[in-house]
Amino acid sequence: MSITVVGSIAYDAVRTPFGERRRMLGGAATHFALAASFFDTVRPVGPVGGDFATEDLRTLSVRGTITDDVVTVPGGETFFWSGVYGDDLNSRETLATELGVFADFQPRLSPAARACEVLFLANIQPSLQASVLDQCDGPRFTALDSMNLWIETARAELIAVIERVDCVILNDAEIRQLTGRHTLPDAARELLELGPEAVIAKQGEYGAALFTRDGFFSLPAYPLVSVVDPTGAGDTFAGGLVGYVAAARERTVSRELLAGAMAYGTALASFNVQEFGTERLARLSFDEVHARVAELHRFTQFEMPLLKETV
Amino acid sequence: MSITVVGSIAYDAVRTPFGERRRMLGGAATHFALAASFFDTVRPVGPVGGDFATEDLRTLSVRGTITDDVVTVPGGETFFWSGVYGDDLNSRETLATELGVFADFQPRLSPAARACEVLFLANIQPSLQASVLDQCDGPRFTALDSMNLWIETARAELIAVIERVDCVILNDAEIRQLTGRHTLPDAARELLELGPEAVIAKQGEYGAALFTRDGFFSLPAYPLVSVVDPTGAGDTFAGGLVGYVAAARERTVSRELLAGAMAYGTALASFNVQEFGTERLARLSFDEVHARVAELHRFTQFEMPLLKETV
């Protein structure tokens, strides 16, 4: 059993109030894989250029991740993203996006990647996401991410993919933008009507919310006194979430299962932002993750107040 | 036993994407009182003009609220605020603020108001908040609100009042602005060092977070498909929260007590925003509030995931 993730493997240049990195391993599939690898065998699918360093391939291979579907394009350049974060780390400006080998990326999954039990379509062109779905042999659970660019330029294709997956994982602003609805519950309800069993809204420092046809669940972010680099937090969250679903091996994706999955995703994302890029996840232990999930549990549980009388 | 609240009693003109009101009962003390009155006897302290309508005084008196400390200034005008909300209801623009009788407000509490067990200092000039604290006979629990205006123009006075109260209830952006810290946990920690036992960050549609010296608790907002008018949500939240603390009659303000208080405040605030101004709170029943608290409990509770093995 395994998890296939299709998405970018990249180099990032990032500046935050706490420092900078000129060229570090990044990309959606990378952050996802480093998180999901705690739970099951991960197969990232994506292209890199001839400039991709073997030590970065080693980092990507941590905890049993199989990189057979990471295709090197000789002479090509690895996808490069550069951005700078504002003082509050909630706003960021993209300085450069150089697609490199990602510009001509046409996913061709190996038989092992096609046979995945769980599939995550990271943020890539929606028609490519559809092509990946076509190639897979009916995964038990499928989830996707996307971004404002595709909502604006490929809305119909994106809607068509959403209709085919079990779970949509987007930022809350993207969910509103996609549906044009004022409130998140209204927007999520509209997405659920397209077919998915679950819509999960990523809310950054505020946490995440789960909408199902008959339920709602909300979890705060793990409270951190200092955040060093938010890059990849969303993909790390998705990696923990989807990895947990894979590990649980349940046929039915219940609200209870997804709540636990969100707790692991949240804990993993909190470690991710405490250092630059993949630095913290690369040397994280599962005991550390589990301890933070236990803290999140304590931070959110309360006795139902029994007060029933008024004065 | 009773709750004293000092703050504005106002008329609001509000336009939202869902309609408008040209002149409706509003003000921090009003919204607070309508919520807190479910739990204990409330005494609002504040001035109104000769234009203040008797039917609005009747609305304010709902559920046993005593308006003896609402002082009418003959010939004066009641505080008036006018604003318009953006499409997503998260942004608002103030069109007019006419202080009227509020400009010369010097709180003079009646003996009954001074003898309160619980005191809420709504958003008024910090030196007036200090004067109210001076007048009171040692309430068991004191909390305050404030705003960006006082953070910018009366920071030292505000800090001095914060040092004297048990609980600070502010928007998360205000907590960051006041402390100059990047993250909310860091900012809250700095406020706790000033003396309060608890800092509660209001996070609008994302809910609220509680920071104590040895604990953290977070609660989402009640998910609403449609929001009609956010005006007064924060004061309604504070009213439910402080009212619950008053009703609980406990000497120690524990994390568990405040968690329940936040649940009632959150439920009450959610009703407040479903209609304009005080319209919904004026005819709300406690059973409705309690039912929504039970829903909030379901929306946030989950089994601690037992997953401990990795592949």
Strand, coil or helix: what is A22?
strand
Domains of chain B and any CATH numbers: 2-300 (3.40.1190.20)
Distance from C-alpha of A162 to C-alpha of A164, rounded to nearest angstrom: 5
pLDDT over 70 at B226, yes or no: yes
Residue B256, burial from CB neighbour count under 10 angstroms (0-12, 13-18, 19+): middle
Query: How many Cβ contacts (< 8 angstroms) between chains A and B?
Result: 154
Average pLDDT over residues A68-97: 92
pLDDT of residue A250: 80
pLDDT one-digit tens code per residue, A174-225 = 999 999 998 999 999 999 999 999 999 999 999 999 999 999 999 999 999 9
pLDDT over 90 at A311, yes or no: no
Query: Side-chain half-sphere of A307: how many Cα atoms within 13 Å?
Result: 25
pLDDT over 50 at B30, yes or no: yes
Distance from C-alpha of B237 to C-alpha of B28, rounded to nearest angstrom: 11
Which two tokens mark B204? Answer: 């609008």
pLDDT over 60 at B311, yes or no: no
Q: Which residues contact B308 (CB under 8 A, 6 or more apart)?
A: A286, A290
pLDDT of residue B270: 98
Which two tokens mark B176? Answer: 């960051």
Give contacts of A294 with chain B, Cβ < 8 Å.
304
Element housing B260 (H / E): helix B255-272
CA torsion angle A30 A35 A37 A43 (round to 10):
-30
If one counts every other C-beta atom within 10 angstroms of the C-beta of residue B156, the result is 7
Distance from C-alpha of A221 to C-alpha of A272, rounded to nearest angstrom: 12
pLDDT of residue B293: 97
Shortest distance between the Cα of B36 and any Cα of chain A, in A, equals 10
Q: Which residues contact A111 (CB under 8 A, 6 or more apart)?
A: none
CA torsion angle A74 A78 A79 A83 (round to 10):
-160
pLDDT of residue B61: 98
Which ranges of chain A would DSSP assign to H, the alpha helix? 28-36, 54-60, 111-114, 126-135, 148-153, 155-162, 172-179, 184-192, 233-248, 255-272, 286-300
pLDDT one-digit tens code per residue, A140-176 = 999 999 999 999 999 999 999 999 999 999 999 999 9
For β-strands A19-26 and A10-16, DSSP reports them as antiparallel
For β-strands A198-202 and B208-212, DSSP reports them as unpaired
Residues 169-198 of B with CB under 8 A from A: 176, 182-186, 189
Q: Specify the pTM.
A: 0.95
Closest CB to B209 among A220, A260, A297: A220
Q: Do B203 and A207 touch (CB under 8 A)?
A: no
Average pLDDT over residues A251-272: 94
Average pLDDT over residues B100-123: 97
pLDDT one-digit tens code per residue, A87-120 = 877 788 999 999 999 999 999 999 999 999 999 9
pLDDT of residue B253: 86
pLDDT of residue B42: 98
If one counts every other C-beta atom within 10 angstroms of the C-beta of residue A150, the result is 20
Helix-helix angle B28-36:B255-272, to 10 degrees = 110
Q: Do A87 and B182 touch (CB under 8 A)?
A: yes
pLDDT over 50 at A261, yes or no: yes
pLDDT of residue A159: 98
Distance from C-alpha of B281 to C-alpha of B285, rounded to nearest angstrom: 8
pLDDT one-digit tens code per residue, B260-274 = 999 999 999 999 999
pLDDT of residue A125: 97
Q: Do B307 and A183 touch (CB under 8 A)?
A: no
Cβ contact B84:B55 at 8 Å = no
Average pLDDT over residues B177-194: 96
Residues 110-139 of A with CB under 8 A from B: none
Residue A146: closest CA among A138, A134, A160: A160
Helix-helix angle A286-300:A255-272, to 10 degrees = 120
Mean pLDDT of chain B: 95
User: What's CA A209's distance to the chain center, in Å?
Assistant: 14
Which letter does DSSP use for residue B110 in this model? -
Residue A49: closest CA among A79, A78, A25: A78
Which two tokens mark A292? Answer: 């933070």
Closest CB to B305 among A209, A260, A311: A260
Which letter does DSSP use for residue B78 in this model? -
Give contacts of A176 with chain B, Cβ < 8 Å.
88
pLDDT of residue B219: 98
Q: Which residues contact A86 (CB under 8 A, 6 or more apart)?
A: A92, A93
Distance from C-alpha of B185 to C-alpha of B191, rounded to nearest angstrom: 10
Q: Helix, strand, coil proportions of chain B in percent (round to 5)?
A: 40, 25, 35
Mean pLDDT of chain A: 95
Residues 220-279 of A with CB under 8 A from B: 220, 223-227, 244, 247-248, 256, 259-260, 263-264
Element housing B243 (H / E): helix B233-248
Sign of CA dihedral A73, A74, A75, A77: positive
Beta pairing partners, B85:
B92
Closest CB to B308 among A209, A260, A290: A290
Residues 12-41 of A with CB under 8 A from B: 17, 38-41
Which two tokens mark A64? Answer: 């049993």
Residue B277 confidence class, pLDDT cut points 50, 70, 90: very high
Instruction: Beginning with the edge strand found earlier in the chain, give each strand of the sheet holding A19-26 in spatial order.
Output: A19-26, A10-16, A79-85, A92-98
pLDDT over 90 at B110, yes or no: yes
Residue A307 confidence class, pLDDT cut points 50, 70, 90: low
pLDDT of residue A99: 95
Q: Which residues contact B103 (CB under 8 A, 6 or more apart)?
A: none
Residues 197-226 of B with CB under 8 A from A: 203, 205-207, 209, 216-220, 223-226
Q: For testing the chain B interface, which of A117, A192, A199, A218 should be mutated: the one with the most B CBs within 10 Å?
A: A218
Query: Side-chain half-sphere of B10: how many Cα atoms within 13 Å?
Result: 29
User: What's CA B276's distance to the chain center, in Å?
Assistant: 17
Shortest distance between the Cα of A93 and any Cα of chain B, in A, equals 18
User: What's CA A204's distance to the chain center, in Å?
Assistant: 12
